[in-house]
Structure 1
Amino acid sequence: MNRIKTDILVIGAGSGGLSVAAGAVQMGARVVLLEGHKMGGDCLNFGCVPSKALLSEAKRAHAMGGGVDYSAAKDHVHKVIETIAPVDSQERFEGLGVHVIREYGRFISPTEVQAGDTVITARRIVIATGSGPFVPPIPGIETVRYFTNENIFDLRERPDHLLIIGGGPIGMEMAQAHIRLGSKVTVIEGMKALGKDDPEAAGIVLEQMRAEGIEIVEDVVAQEIAESGGQITVKTSNGNFTGSHLLMAVGRKVNIDKLDLDKGNVSYDRAVKVGADLRSVTNKRVYAIGDAAGGLQFTHVAGYHAGVIIRSMLFGLPSKAKTDHIPWVTYTDPELAQVGATEAEARKQYGNHAITVTRFDYHENDRAIATGQTTGFIKVMVVKGKPVGATIVGAHAGEMIGMWAMAIANGLKMSAIANTVLPYPTLSEINKRAAGAYFSPKLFDNPTVKKVVGFVQNYLP
């Protein structure tokens, strides 16, 4: 048995783990990194990167009126992964000075983790194991062939009729990608499709998807799954749905089962139990970041968490994670982006009397008119002159939300957005016009303002 001592042990080479390893080793810490599967984790290999690559090909097919071969689209997906992979590779991190071990890790004591035939003793241990697809125990599921985000991108033959159980972001993105690549698509959702987003904004996305031919069935629970004659049938509380392929997209399960957390004195339920500082509540030597910390499940959250714990681990400074400035995007067409509180959340948190909701529509923006992308809107939730949330649905919403993420993260006022001069014509002017809409009533409907203007015009030379 080999034994290693290190300053920091990182379990998991996904977005968060790689960020910690790279940052820590370049600032002088000894770092060991464990990865039992693929370097780059879910995001590079099964999630963000391949899904956006497939959506890009599907959008091209939609613009051309068809004509993009399904297997060629998958070739593009894997080419994109191969292009990005060197940035996350074992060779790159070993070049930085990280000791990379390609084995799964499991605790054998509160300070020791075993990976293969190596035992690592570490001053600080970071759990960055991410999550995988959750497949609920629907009767019959074990008897049929189904796909998840971990293997759908390896499918080479276009599904004739893709059934998708789950109407969240993954399910809806894959639904639109496949309808545009020539498949028939049915989405079965037990509650509301895109139910975690602002319902008005989600409604615009769903309207577009239905217009493209996607069948979206809501408030319907899958009760049984069966396969016969090469066809899969999902029996539900509201009838049966039959297709050629099945994609399970009902949620995510945190990857902690192999860690033997009990032996590490690390408390957990569905994820590692941590405080605001992302430290284990029962073993202060242990941190959990990203999906393993049990909060928002986004790649950029894992990267943010990495910065939070590096401040604590390397410099001994207090550092806590927040969530009110975290943006997220669903990459459908139109895109749906959110940062901070939705309108419903803001009204519940601050009360109707304290909140102002300001909005602006895409169809009033000159660039949107010029490019034919007039579907969508922005609305911003404002409390005491500061944005506390923003919702954008429309073209390039994921790019547009960045201005509001910066404003909320830095406590900026609406005046900071309104005072910003933006090039004309750009979609980003929608942000500025939304800020202007907040101030318009204060300027144009204010009797005091009119009196002051009248005084100046009548009495000043």
Structure 2
Amino acid sequence: MNQKKMRAAIIALIAIFIVCFFYFDFGRFFTLDYFKAQQQALQDYYAANPVLTLSIYMGSYIAVTALSLPGAAIMTLAAGALFGNMAGLFMVSFASSIGATLAFFVSRFLLRDYVQNKFGDKLRAMNTGVEKDGAFYLFTLRLVPVFPFFVINLAMGLTPIKTLAFYLVSQVGMLPGTFVYVNAGTQIGKLESLQGILSPELIFSFALLGVFPLVARKIISLVKARKIYQSFSPPKNYDYNLVVIGAGSAGLVSAYIAAMVKAKVALIEANKMGGDCLNTGCVPSKALIRSAKMLSYAKRARDFGLNRTTVDFDFDKVMERVQRVIKKVEPHDSVERYTRFGVDCIKGYAKITSPFTVEVDGRNFTTRNIIVATGARPFVPQIPGLDKIKYLTSDNIWEIRQLPKRLVVLGGGPIGSELTQAFARLGSEVTQVEMAPHLMGREDPEISEMVIEKFMSEGINVLTNHRAKEVRTENDQKVLICEHDGRDIAIEFDEILVAVGRVANTSGFGLEDIGVELSPRRTIETNELLQTNFPNIFCAGDVAGPYQFTHTAAHQAWYASVNALFGKIKTFKANYNAIPWATYTDPEVARVGLNELEAGEQNIPYEKTVYGIDDLDRAIADSEDHGFVKVLTKPGTDKIVGVTIVGAHAGDLISEYILAMRHGLGLNKLMSTIHIYPTLAEANKYAAGEWKKEHRPKKLLAWVERYHTWMRGKRRPSNQVSEAHSERGVMTSD
């Protein structure tokens, strides 16, 4: 029997039981008056048939609880009256927990998948909380009798709490209330109603008992914090509310926010303001990519109706332009600008000497809070012979002024791929080496294949499944030895660029000395508030992870700075919903949310809609008619799970989907939004139109066609339902 049929059978069985219960008025047996009238007869039967009575009682109690029927309270009183305090408590404790767990099972089997699929995005925070503290929440609910137990059973079945945890917590949590009812049952003759059993004072006592585990956790965290600070003495007065270490994206935003809310803040940077993004990362790489893009357009002259275009250029001047771009952007991140905001900008190497003090070149500064925003640096693998030559990384490649004739790029991630194509377009003979089966391994395989195909068409030698083993220097000739399919491949080169990833900057400024904990990824370990194990030391950006993007660093900086400055009043958990990124190859690849690879790994069901940009008018006019928009949605809904765009300006086009995912807008809303014609942004509308076309109400449209045929005065409608008006998203969600 498949799951669908089993669900139907269980629902039918439960319905039969419930209908019978009410139809035959079995509820009359679960009233206080009925039990008091039958008490002596039941006690006599129990004396004559103890085992059978206990078995019937246990089975009945489990059934009533499992089916969420009224009567559990009366049965609990009956246990006290029939079996006494100890035996009654034992019987009810196990029967109620087993019945509750069965109800939990039924709710989970019948409803959880539907509820999580339908409302999973809204329940994400609750699911995370239950996974972390579900036992505490359940214990509190079990101890407070104002919450109906049957509602708790059904509701908890929809959450990720483990079954064993549910049973054990229910067994313990229901004991106090069970004892009160069983004990009352021993005096059942004096009871006039159920309302008198639980006084307000007793309910309040249970509530305090239920809250105790959560209070205890808070006390434990305070004790742990006190213990971790016991080696350090806080100063009587502080120089700053906040000291920020590192003036990259995360550090700059943290300092800016602190200054805007009138906190006294210091920003410490040993090198250049702006960090990697301005000086060695985003800004210079995009400037170089732009120059290379102009050369690629020249080579594509015939695509634009031009017979021939030649470009005479000097690589040294291209690199000088890169530096001019940096200089032009530099004022945005300058000391002068941030000083005007009210930030004390301090140049020098910071060293954290305690959770409250930071030393900079012999000067000590006291601070209430610290934000570590020290970024990351290129990771250089230990390849034999690599240290014997001068190799390039994304840090120092901007210093070269002579175009490498033969360039090897180690790494097939975003940095490696972007610089591979840029240098190839500038005239280098580029070989890209990647040990994995695909370039850009976080993207879907067909996207990697599109990028590889484009690279190869531009003369790039792409070597996947090649592991770099050794660098040799023979007669002034540099050679990279790679292993591929069990044999060695030799690649001669003039320069080698190492772009295999980045590693967080976590050492050299005192973290290890005071005991700040690191994560298994070698980033600084933080909680959802971006706190370290020292509650007044926070982290943001690459040094915190899990994403190494400039925009994510700025996003985290808001949480770190606000929690540092206002955490005693209100805290905010970092929200990583709808984190986007782009790789600026040609074609560009941009993504937000899940792709097919990740959805498959996480067993998340989805529907896929693809719109080919080769069909888009503006893309055709620009001779950029390649790529696609791929949207993943929850099955049967227009709710967006993830989007990948491949094509010209994909990094700009993705913004509409970021907004939609961040604020819960579906494809119907995108399709009903007016987009300017002709623009590349229309691709988003047409992708939504493709989804709508696949989900059009076919049966309704058949009847609509009949109606229109009847309105024209014809007796028989055509058998064909016209699809002309559903093409290219012309149908609207209205």
Aligned partners of 1:118 and 1:177: how far apart in 2?
A: 44
Deviations 1:268-309 (Å, cap 9, x if unpaired)? 1411001122111x1111111110112110000001111222
Alignment of 1:253 with 2:506, yes or no, is no
Greater helix share, 1 or 2? 2
Give the letter aligned to residue 150 of structure 1: D
Aligned to 2:670: 417
Aligned to 2:366: 121
Deviations 1:33-53 (Å, cap 9, x if unpaired)? 110111100000000000000
Could you tell me how far 1:180 is from its partner in structure 2? Answer: 0.7
Deviations 1:150-192 (Å, cap 9, x if unpaired)? 1101100010001111111111111111111111000111112
Could you tell me how far 1:369 is from its partner in structure 2? Answer: 0.8
Cα contact 1:93–1:100 (8 A) shared by 2: yes
Give the letter aligned to residue 365 of structure 2: I
Could you tell me how far 1:457 is from its partner in structure 2? Answer: 6.0
Deviations 1:40-81 (Å, cap 9, x if unpaired)? 000000000000000101111222235332111101100000
Could you tell me how far 1:86 is from its partner in structure 2? Answer: 1.1
Give the letter aligned to residue 386 of structure 1: K
Q: 2:524 aligns with which of 249, 252, 272?
A: 272
Q: 1:22 aligns with which of 235, 253, 256?
A: 256
Alignment of 1:99 with 2:333, yes or no, is no
Deviations 1:398-451 (Å, cap 9, x if unpaired)? 1101111111111111111111110111111111111111111222x6213422
Cα contact 1:377–1:394 (8 A) shared by 2: yes
Give the letter aligned to residue 352 of structure 2: F
Cα contact 1:112–1:121 (8 A) shared by 2: yes
Structure 1, unmatched stretches of 5+, are none
Give the letter aligned to residue 273 of structure 2: M
Aligned partners of 1:47 and 1:454: how far apart in 2?
A: 62
Greater strand share, 1 or 2? 1
Aligned to 1:440: 693
Cα contact 1:134–1:252 (8 A) shared by 2: yes
Deviations 1:193-232 (Å, cap 9, x if unpaired)? 1111122122211210111000110111111112234432
Give the letter aligned to residue 347 of structure 2: R
Alignment of 1:309 with 2:560, yes or no, is yes
Q: Relative to structure 2, which stretch is displaced further, 130-139 or 67-76?
A: 67-76
Aligned to 1:450: 702
Aligned partners of 1:347 and 1:77: how far apart in 2?
A: 41
Aligned partners of 2:238 and 2:344: how far apart in 1?
A: 10
Give the letter aligned to residue 606 of structure 2: I
Alignment of 1:35 with 2:269, yes or no, is yes
Could you tell me how far 1:459 is from its partner in structure 2? Answer: 7.0
Aligned partners of 2:347 and 2:409: how far apart in 1?
A: 34
Q: Relative to structure 2, which stretch is displaced further, 393-402 or 340-349?
A: 340-349
Could you tell me how far 1:460 is from its partner in structure 2? Answer: 12
Alignment of 1:55 with 2:289, yes or no, is yes
Aligned to 1:391: 644
Cα contact 1:39–1:88 (8 A) shared by 2: yes
Aligned to 2:68: none
Q: 1:442 to 1:177 in 2, by over 3 A?
A: same
Alignment of 1:6 with 2:240, yes or no, is yes
Cα contact 1:201–1:391 (8 A) shared by 2: no
Q: 1:286 aligns with which of 537, 540, 551?
A: 537
Aligned partners of 1:277 and 1:215: how far apart in 2?
A: 45
Q: Relative to structure 2, which stretch is displaced further, 449-458 or 83-92?
A: 449-458
| 1:404 aligned counterpart, secondary structure | helix
Could you tell me how far 1:98 is from its partner in structure 2? Answer: 0.9
Could you tell me how far 1:390 is from its partner in structure 2? Answer: 0.3
Aligned partners of 2:509 and 2:688: how far apart in 1?
A: 48
Cα contact 1:13–1:39 (8 A) shared by 2: yes
Cα contact 1:132–1:253 (8 A) shared by 2: yes
Alignment of 1:151 with 2:396, yes or no, is yes
Deviations 1:129-152 (Å, cap 9, x if unpaired)? 110101011111110110101110
Q: Relative to structure 2, which stretch is displaced further, 44-53 or 103-112?
A: 103-112
Aligned to 1:221: 467
Aligned partners of 1:346 and 1:453: how far apart in 2?
A: 39
- What is the identity percentage for the equivalent residue pairs of Structure 1 and Structure 2? 38
| 2:628 aligned counterpart, secondary structure | strand
Could you tell me how far 1:264 is from its partner in structure 2? Answer: 3.3
Aligned partners of 1:175 and 1:124: how far apart in 2?
A: 42
Aligned partners of 2:646 and 2:699: how far apart in 1?
A: 35
Deviations 1:113-139 (Å, cap 9, x if unpaired)? 212112222111101011010101111
Aligned residues: 455
Write the mapping of 1:62-211 to structure 2, written as runs, cut at 5 A.
62-65=296-299, 66-191=311-436, 192-211=438-457
Cα contact 1:54–1:74 (8 A) shared by 2: yes
Cα contact 2:319–2:398 (8 A) shared by 1: yes
Could you tell me how far 1:348 is from its partner in structure 2? Answer: 3.8
Give the letter aligned to residue 395 of structure 1: A
Cα contact 2:536–2:564 (8 A) shared by 1: no
Q: Relative to structure 2, which stretch is displaced further, 115-124 or 183-192?
A: 115-124
